[in-house]
Amino acid sequence: MCWCLVEFVQATYGRGTRDEVDEFIYQLCDVTGDGALTRSDLESVLASVHETVFAIKKEAVEVSNNRPFEEFLNSAVFSKDVEGVSGKSMSLSDFRNWCTLLPSLRKFLGNLLMPPDSGRPGFEVPLLHYPENICTDTLLLNKEYAWHIGGGFSQHEVQEWKLLYHSSLHGQSFNTFLGKVTNGDAQTVLIVKDTEGSIYGGYASQPWERHSDFYGDMKTFLFKCYPQASIFRPTGANKNLQWCAVNFSSENIPNGIGFGGQPHHFGLFLSANFDQGHSFTCSTFTSPPLSKTNRFRPEVIECWGIQMRGAQDEKLELVKGTVLERFKEDRNMLKMVGL
């Protein structure tokens, strides 16, 4: 594509409202150019995003037999009928809702017409630090999940995440957990895998400290990683954000840690014994139950401390060219700018 055309589109795109930009990206993601945004289109888009963000060669993706960001696809809704297209496609409303659940993806797609830059929102991949003797297969968190969760943060710095607690290594103990995380960073990501295989958790912007009531701030959020990926931010409906109760004898103050909702009816809660938990529909985050059933048993519990540092300290080596070039949507782009 002629670069003067790209520059023209960039200028037009940059001046648009958020709704106009969303519609522009929505049309751009129609890889086949048939006027319908289908699952196969999203698969192509996500494969390109995955290749770009993680600097993975296309051949390596094909050999793995795994579709990149399958969890992202699982959270997509296709409700639109398009004449001449078999199956449902994604409406603009579906697309906007999907991007709300996946802020890392939305940030990345918002830079479609810009050259790759590890310092730009949507390109940052958190750096994960953990003891060398830990097998990565035992960790719930991988780079893809970290990139997804990190999209919920407001900061634009590259982030370093340090493993503070892992139930398989440190024992499934609430006291041990508190001892490990209170000596770490104030900001933490709590991740749970239950016995049904689902993976989910919450980001706590404040330290885990003993309280008799809710505390925290509006940076806190809940998330799902598997089998669907989603992020649920605070709605402002209430201030019931973080919960950390230790050694209380009152039935009205359940001992354990949690996020959102009400006592005994949290958006996410782990009992002080770390042997059971629950997750209910929660107005604090407008989140559904994170687990398949409201009551669950945790199989693995992890907690990571978040450390911020300047993006200029380390750059990721990204593949050259823009995502737009890899989509090879010259024809679609020309149609959208009226040429």
pLDDT in tens, 94-134: 999 999 999 999 988 887 766 656 567 777 889 999 998 88
Helix, strand, coil share (%) of the chain residues, nearest 5: 30, 20, 45
Hey, where are the domains in the chain?
3-112, 127-308
Closest CA to 52 of 123, 104, 148: 123
**Mean pLDDT of all residues belonging to the chain:** 83
pLDDT in tens, 42-59: 999 999 999 888 876 555
Range 77-101 average pLDDT: 91
Backbone angles phi, psi at 158, to 5 degrees: -65, 140
Q: What is the pLDDT of residue 245?
A: 95
Amino acid at 42: L
Q: What is the pLDDT of residue 18?
A: 78
Question: Does the 3-112 domain belong in CATH 1.10.287.10?
Answer: no
Token code pair at residue 34 = 């048939």
Query: How far apart are the C-alpha atoms of 296 and 91, rounded to whole Å?
Result: 34
